[in-house]
Amino acid sequence: MHWRFWIGAALVWGPVLSGLLPAAQPAWKAGAARLKITPQEPLWMAGFASRDRPAEGQLHDLWVKILALESADGHRGVVITSDLCGISKATYESVCKELKTRCGLDRSQIKFTYSHTHSGPALRECLQDYYAWDDAARDRVAQYTLALEKAIVEKIASALGNMSDATIWATEGTADFAVNRRNNDESQIDKLLAGGEPLKGPVDHRVPLLAVRGSDGRLRAVVFGYACHTSMLALYEWSGDYAGFAQLALEEKHPDLQAMFYQACGGDQGAMPRRTVELTRKNGLTLAAAVERALAQPMRPVAPRLKTAFDLVTLPFEKTITAELLRASSNIGPHYQRWAQRMLERLDAGETFPSSYPYAVQVWQLGADQLWISIGGEPVVDYSLKFAELFGRTTWTNGFSHDLTAYIPSRRVWDEGGYEGGYLGEYGLPAMRWAGDVEDRITAGVQRLVDRVRE
C-alpha cells in the first residue's frame, strides 16, 4: 500500500456531565473524527481538464471530517465533509455498502458531502475523461481511492463508537463573495464592483450553520455551508480552496473545534476575481468571520430528534448518446475525445446505454422543524432558493453530496443552455443533456421525502 492515511484520534468529548442538563430533556449524542487525506505521492488533481501533471506540493493538508449524531430515540446519522472535488457512484456505493455491513447504516443516514475543491485528489471513475492519464497514473488514482474508501468507513465507525452527550444549535450567517458566474463576465467584475454596479443573476449568500456543544457547553463542531465553487485556485498544490482556509481559521481560533464545510447549491456560483492564493485566503477568512458572527448571536436549539429519508429519483436524459453522436462530439476538446472513445468501446463491446439516471436525494429533519436537504451532483442555486420558499426560510439545501452525477440545471438554466445547462458527457454519462423536466422531477422527489420526515 503506497498511500498512508494519518488516522487522527477521534475526539472524545470529555466526561459526561449529565447534571448540567435538565433530567427531563434527553440529549443528543455526538462524536467527531477526522482523517488526513493529503496524498503522500504525486497524484493528479481533480476538477480542471487543463492540468497536465500530478500535484507538486501543498498549501495545507486535506481532510475528511465526520460528525456522528444520535437522537434521543437512538436514530443515528453521519455527516461527512471532505476536501474532495467529488466522488463517483462506485465510491459512493462502496462506502454505503460497507457502512451497512459494519455500522448498520442505510443511505438515508449517510450524508456524504464534498467541498468540490479543485485542488484535491482525482478519484477513481470521477471526471476520469478530464485527465490524460497513462496506465500507471490511473492505477495510482485507483489505489488511492480504494484505500480512502476503507479509511473513511473505519473513521465513521470510530466516530459512532465515541459519541457522548451533546446539544445542537442552528442558525444562518451571511457572506457576500459568491457571484453568479453565468451572468457576470469575470474580466469585467473588478470594473463593475469598483463602479458600484449591481451584479446580475440569482445568488444565495446564506451560511447555514449547525453547532454542536459538549455537555460542558463547549463548542465541539460546526458544520457550515456556502454556495460558491471552490475553484479559485488552479495550481499544482493541494488545498481545500477558500473553504480550506475558512476551516483552518476556525480551528486555529478554537483548538477543540472541528470545523466542517459543505458546498450548498453552488453549481453556477463562483468567486470573482480569483486565481491567487491571497484572494482565496481572503474569501476563506470572510467565510470564517461569517461563521464567528453567527456563533456569537443567539441560535435556535435543536431538540434531539432526527428523521432521515432517501430515494433515487429517475432523471431521464434528453437523448441517449449513439455512436454517430459520439463521433460528432469528440471535436469539443481532448477530454471529449477520451469520453467518446471510451463510450464507443463500450458500445462495441455490446453494451446498451440507459435512458435515465438514478439520482440520489436525501432529506433530514433535525428537531421539530430544521430541514436539511442533500441532493447529488452540482445543482444550480435556484434549487436552494426554491426549497427555502417551498419548505420554509430556514430550510438548508446542499448539492455536492452522494455521487458527483453532473451539473443539475433548473428549468431556467436548462432553457438558457450553456455550460451548467448540459455537458453531461464530462461526467462520463451517456448523454449530453437532461430531459427538460429535470427540476420538476427533483422537486417532486424532495417533496415526497419532506412529507415523509414531517409525518
Q: Which residues bind Zn ion (CB under 5 A)?
A: 378
CB 71 within 8 A of CB 28: yes
> What gap in Å lies between CA 109 and CA 118, rounded to an integer?
27
- For Zn ion, the closer of residues 165 and 268 by Cβ is 268
- For Zn ion, the closer of residues 27 and 227 by Cβ is 227
Q: Tell the smallest beta-carbon distance from residue 101 to Zn ion (Å).
A: 32
User: Which residues are within 8 A (CB) of 182 and not within 5 positions of it... i.e. 6 or more apart?
Assistant: 201, 268, 413, 416, 418, 419, 420
- For Zn ion, the closer of residues 241 and 378 by Cβ is 378
Helices 135-160 and 89-103 pack at an angle, to 10 degrees, of 30
CB 178 within 8 A of CB 227: yes
- For Zn ion, the closer of residues 3 and 339 by Cβ is 339
DSSP letter assigned to residue 319:
S
Q: Tell the smallest beta-carbon distance from residue 354 to Zn ion (Å).
A: 23
Q: Tell the smallest beta-carbon distance from residue 248 to Zn ion (Å).
A: 22
Which is it for strands 269-271 and 164-174: parallel, antiparallel or unpaired? unpaired
448 alpha carbon, distance to own chain's centre: 22
CB 153 within 8 A of CB 64: no
- For Zn ion, the closer of residues 353 and 419 by Cβ is 419
Query: In the complex, which residue's CB is closest to Zn ion?
Result: 378
Q: Tell the smallest beta-carbon distance from residue 420 to Zn ion (Å).
A: 8
> What gap in Å lies between CA 85 and CA 114, rounded to an integer?
6
> 290 by DSSP, 3-state: which?
helix
CB 204 within 8 A of CB 229: no
- For Zn ion, the closer of residues 250 and 265 by Cβ is 265
Q: Tell the smallest beta-carbon distance from residue 401 to Zn ion (Å).
A: 14
403 alpha carbon, distance to own chain's centre: 9
- State the residue for C-alpha cell 427540476: 439
- For Zn ion, the closer of residues 27 and 432 by Cβ is 432
Q: Tell the smallest beta-carbon distance from residue 378 to Zn ion (Å).
A: 5
- For Zn ion, the closer of residues 165 and 426 by Cβ is 426
Q: Tell the smallest beta-carbon distance from residue 408 to Zn ion (Å).
A: 11
- For Zn ion, the closer of residues 303 and 380 by Cβ is 380
Determine which helix (DSSP H) or strand (DSSP E) holds 139, and give its type and residue range. Answer: helix 135-160
Q: Tell the smallest beta-carbon distance from residue 232 to Zn ion (Å).
A: 12
Q: Tell the smallest beta-carbon distance from residue 114 to Zn ion (Å).
A: 11
- Helices and strands, counts by H and E, the chain: 10, 20
Which grid coordinates are listed for 147?
484505500
> What gap in Å lies between CA 400 and CA 87, rounded to an integer?
9
